[in-house]
Amino acid sequence: MNSGPALGAGPHLPVMVAEVLTQLVTTPTGLYVDGTLGGGGHASALLSRLTMDGRVLGVDLDPGALDAARRTLAGAGERISLRQGSFTQVPAFLEELGVTTCQGVLLDLGISTLTLESSGRGFSFQREEPLDMRFDPDHGRPLSQVLPRLSQSQLAGIIYRYGEERRSRALARAIHGAAEAGRLVTSGDLAAAVRSVVKGQPVKTLARVFQALRIYINGELDNLQAALESLPQILEAGRRVAVISYHSLEDRLVKHFFIRESKACLCPPQIPSCQCNHQATLKVVSRKPITPSAEEQAFNPRSRSAKLRVAERL
């Protein structure tokens, strides 16, 4: 397994810990799933809220994050079970633990400060690193190998859709040109291609392009949708899911899923009687997303874009 450089340089502060615990923990015993374990900050807080009978299954795609979490959670003994893999695999991981359901699921989406700053895989436009951007470096191909295979219009679509960036065509032209010429090997090369298009302050555009390509290479929205679809199967009735997202694409997806799953019928209004036989599986707990306090936003700037949505299994 290639875990790359140890993730331990910058601290990752877990976001809205108090809010997550209040919303998620409906019983102090039982099994909670942290599907995005990262450095283990939320998992550690969860364990300290639960009794000694309470357990956490921690899942992360990134082997380096698991190494960091193993250190954070060293004292938890058998109360923590760790799995490297995707949160889409949670049903199978639960089966390995001899259960089919759990008492709560947490998803804290996106990337951690640790991965951004010390994975060595080119997630940050402020660093000169190999352009990889895979959460799991043992599967698939690095971004530097994938980019030359994309057409200019595919690239523009990715930047527009996942980065919500209006200069997607010009950016795609520059990035595609650099990739075709074999000049797109590092995160610095990608940043240079973006800078060649944006005059003035390029930081927001850099952030959007890096975000778009990271979402694409990791299939983040498809994985999120698949994980949400598995919730009715793995959550015990009366138990909750809490999802923290950091950009509008994810937040919209979560919001629409929760609303859809809280409806007893999905037929269009003009159909007189229900044909779809859909059954509500969730109750929306937080109609509006919960956001970090002003104090947390000041203390942890990364938390500023965070939105927490909560739903309960019916």
41 scored as a contact of ligand SAM (CB under 6 A): yes
Question: Residue 211 in contact with residue 247, Cβ under 8 Å?
Answer: yes
- Encoded one letter per residue, x for contact with ligand SAM by CB under 6 A and - for no contact, window 58-77 reads -xxxx--x------------
Residues 19 and 246: their CA atoms lie apart, in Å, by 16
Number of H helices, E strands in the chain: 14, 7
Residue count of the chain, please give it. Answer: 314
Stretch that binds ligand SAM, among 32-40, 48-56, 156-164, 207-215 (CB under 6 A): 32-40
Question: Residue 251 in contact with residue 109, Cβ under 8 Å?
Answer: no
Here the tokens at position 21 are: 């615990």
Q: By CB under 6 A, name the one of 16, 19, 32, 38 that touches ligand SAM.
A: 38
Q: Which residue's CB is nearer to ligand SAM, number 119 or number 168? A: 119
Residues 228 and 140: their CA atoms lie apart, in Å, by 23
32 scored as a contact of ligand SAM (CB under 6 A): no
DSSP state of 241: E
223 scored as a contact of ligand SAM (CB under 6 A): yes
Q: How far is the CB of 225 from ligand SAM (least distance, A)?
A: 11
Q: Which residue's CB is nearer to ligand SAM, number 107 or number 172? A: 107
Contact set for ligand SAM, span 105-144 (CB under 6 A): 108, 110-112, 115, 135
Question: Residue 47 in contact with residue 54, Cβ under 8 Å?
Answer: yes
Question: Residue 118 in contact with residue 91, Cβ under 8 Å?
Answer: no
Q: By CB under 6 A, name the one of 4, 30, 39, 104 that touches ligand SAM.
A: 39
Q: Which residues bind ligand SAM (CB under 6 A)?
A: 12, 14, 35-36, 38-42, 59-62, 65, 86-87, 108, 110-112, 115, 135, 223
